[in-house]
Amino acid sequence: MLDDRNYRISMKRIYFDSVTRDSAIVAINDTDEYLTAIYLFDETELNRYIRENEEQKLVAGLIYIDNYEEALDSIEDVKRSLLIALVDRKVN
């Protein structure tokens, strides 16, 4: 992470003999010399989208409220709708 950015680094060896093998301009005898190519990929935006996607995944759950029916049966009709609304608001 550099300056609040996420980078992925990829390194690759490029051998001279493989590059100049078919070249008529440059002639290099068999050698083990190579260049190292370093690629930096800015993945900040990609990682942000991945995090947002993870945070928005659907989660299903089942909630059991002990003695819910008994509690509803034991109170008045007017208060019953209020209790149902309060429980529904807390759950959702």
Give burial (CB, 10 Å; 0-12/13-18/19+) of 87. Answer: middle
Q: The whole model's pTM is what?
A: 0.45
Q: Is 80 exceeded by the pLDDT of residue 50?
A: yes
pLDDT interval class at 20 (50, 70, 90): low
CA distance 9 to 46: 15
Q: Do residues 33 and 61 lie in contact, with contact meaning Cβ atoms separated by under 8 Å?
A: no
Residues whose CB falls within 8 Å of the CB of residue 17, separated by 6 or more in sequence, listed in order: 28, 30, 31
pLDDT tens for each residue of 62-92: 888 888 888 888 888 888 888 889 888 988 7
DSSP secondary-structure letter at 53?
H
